[in-house]
Amino acid sequence: MLEAPNRRPARFITFEGGEGVGKSTQVRRLLNNLGDRDIEAVRTREPGGTPKAEAIRSFILQGRSEEWGAGAEAVLFAAARLDHVNQLIAPNLAKGTWVISDRFCDSTRAYQGLTGGVNDGLIDALENLALDGHVPDLTIVLDMDPALAFKRVEQRAVEDGLQLTGDRFEKEELDWHQRLRENFLDIAANNPDRCVVLSAEQGEEKLEAAIWEVVSGRFPELQTGPVQ
Ligand code: Z5A
């Protein structure tokens, strides 16, 4: 009988939460921590991650699908996700490379479903179709007061020398973002085995350490020190 190759399982980790909570920052930091342990990992994002999905991203974030309504937008996000899963996520996991994604399916449920009013039946069907079984092994939900997160986004714009015009979703009102925050917390409460909520109001290093504690506690293959 052929022996299965002695390969460590690849893990699929997603980061979720509102705008400006520090997802991209922590995805980068987690990639570095995995690299220090000799774990091969790719960083990706949604919407996006593949050329076709990035094309859908620009279309949506420029506001070109807004008049179609939240249902059609949920379908567009799912179309982007289908390509992302087929072309990037599944092949990497199959060859043993970890995948770390800045947003994934919980964003559709939180934005288009719970906040945008798209019914659960459509959200569930799109999720089944696009994921094809590729449910994340772990989802880190970064949670903070949206008013504080806005301040960070403003500060980032100042540092980058950009005027803060806001994309499709950044233009929404504060109480909309407050509802969004609650929706992510509800999703986490409904998926306690997969989701861990961490306060994003702590500094970058402290949050990085808290994330590492969760990730290394979850996956036993990480419970050795960094490769020297
Ligand atoms: N969307 C949807 O509706 N449905 C879907 O299915 C999907 C997405 C997948 C994508 O936006 C939009 O698409 C999104 C939801 C919608 N809505 N919006 N807007 P995006 O990818 O362009 O933006 P985002 O996901 O909201 O990310 P962001 O604004 O770039 O924020 P972030 O990645 O969470 O934060 P960051 O860039 O890491 O940090 C923001 C700033 O804060 C930056 O200057 C950092 O240096 C600073 N920072 C980070 N961490 C800290 C800490 N801990 N302390 C202090 N300062 C910090």
Q: What is the mean pLDDT of the chain?
A: 93
Residue 4 lies in a domain: no
pLDDT at 3: 45
Query: What is the total count of domains within the chain?
Result: 1
Residue 142 lies in a domain: yes
Which residue has a Cα nearest atom 50 of ligand 1? 22
Which residue has a Cα nearest atom 44 of ligand 1? 156
How far, in whole angstroms, is CA 75 from its chain's centroid? 18
Residue 176 lies in a domain: yes
**Separation CA 13–CA 72 (nearest Å):** 27
Residue 121 lies in a domain: yes
- pLDDT averaged per 10 residues in sequence order, the chain, 228 residues: 60 98 98 97 98 98 95 98 98 98 98 95 98 98 96 89 69 88 98 98 98 97 76
pLDDT at 164: 66
pLDDT at 167: 66
Residue 70 lies in a domain: yes
Tell me: cis bond preceding 47? Omega within 30 of 0 counts: yes
138: CATH:
3.40.50.300
Which residue has a Cα nearest atom 23 of ligand 1? 19
Domain of 89, in residue numbers: 12-218
Q: What is the distance in A from the centroid of ligand 1 to the CA of 225?
A: 30
Residue 225 lies in a domain: no
Residue 99 lies in a domain: yes
**Separation CA 64–CA 152 (nearest Å):** 27
Ligand 1 site residues, Cβ closer than 6 angstroms:
19-25, 46-47, 77, 103, 107-108, 111-112, 152-153, 155-156, 167, 169-170, 203-204, 207
Residue 161 lies in a domain: yes
**How are beta strands 12-16 and 41-45 bridged, if at all?**
unpaired
The model's pTM: 0.95
